Chain A
Amino acid sequence: EAGVVQSPRYKIIEKKQPVAFWCNPISGHNTLYWYRQNLGQGPELLIRYENEEAVDDSQLPKDRFSAERLKGVDSTLKIQPAELGDSAVYLCANSRDNTGELFFGEGSRLTVL
């Protein structure tokens, strides 16, 4: 079974530029999460989807961040415009039940200069 696939793995941009991250989840895992992990910190939830519906986006900075999950499968997370403080690893995760087991991708490491 393939794991969670994220791209790009690394991205370097200048501030005020846009950036997008893509996530392909594990087949059949209907819940999808985007987390942000700052250096030396634990992951922090940005948004959670149940199929194609965003059920928790309370931590998503909506002035510059947006996300979508088309047809309840792949998802994209976009930042426009990026700020220096957005430098972090953006992790996509899936779950198939409510046990607390999340399957994470390897993350997309963003550096904003």
Chain B
Amino acid sequence: QKEVEQDPGPLSVPEGAIVSLNCTYSNSAFQYFMWYRQYSRKGPELLMYTYSSGNKEDGRFTAQVDKSSKYISLFIRDSQPSDSATYLCAMRTGGGNKLTFGTGTQLKVEL
């Protein structure tokens, strides 16, 4: 079993839809949680960063962490075609920057 599980998709939604992307993890030592966005043939870029359980909002994006369930989510409101990309969850324990990535979910937002 992988430390981080993520549904690979692909996920196709119409423009304006609310998108929910999820990851589960098994290592209870993970404390910091991130979402990276990766466009086709590009490197990943950091989208959201959270620590501890709860919600964090940034524009149309909301990151949610539930440590008791070992479950994290990324919500995208009013999705746009420009949101079409692969979304990777990543997490780390307290020390250093050794990230463990999920497999990524491929999202396509259609006109």
| Residue A42 CB within 8 A of the other chain | yes
Contact indicator per residue, chain A 45-62, by CB within 8 Å of chain B (1) or not (0): 100100000001000000
A100-B104 contact, Cβ under 8 Å, with A45-B99, A95-B97: no
List residues of chain B with CB within 8 A of the CB of A56.
98
A-contacting residues, B68-108, CB 8 Å: 88, 90, 92, 95-99, 101-104
A-contacting residues, B23-45, CB 8 Å: 32, 34, 41-45
* CB <8 Å contact, B32 and A100: yes
List residues of chain B with CB within 8 A of the CB of A109.
41
A42-B102 contact, Cβ under 8 Å, with A91-B43, A100-B32, A100-B90: yes
A100-B97 contact, Cβ under 8 Å, with A40-B103, A41-B104: yes
* CB <8 Å contact, A99 and B49: yes
- Interface SS, B side: loop
Interface residues on B, range: 20 to 34
A41 to B96 Cα, complex, angstroms:
23
B41 contacts which of A33, A101, A106 (Cβ < 8 Å)? A106
- Min CB gap B6→A, angstroms: 8
Closest 10 CB pairs of A and B: A104-B43, A42-B101, A101-B46, A95-B97, A104-B44, A100-B32, A42-B103, A42-B88, A106-B43, A43-B101
Q: Could you give 9 example pairs across A and B, Cβ below 8 Å?
A: A31-B97, A33-B97, A41-B103, A48-B97, A95-B97, A100-B99, A102-B44, A102-B97, A109-B41
B residues at A contact (CB < 8 Å)? 4, 6, 8, 32, 34, 41-46, 49, 88, 90, 92, 95-99, 101-104
Known pairs A103-B45, A104-B44; list 12 more (Cβ under 8 Å).
A42-B90, A42-B104, A48-B98, A98-B96, A100-B90, A100-B92, A101-B34, A101-B46, A102-B46, A102-B99, A105-B43, A107-B41
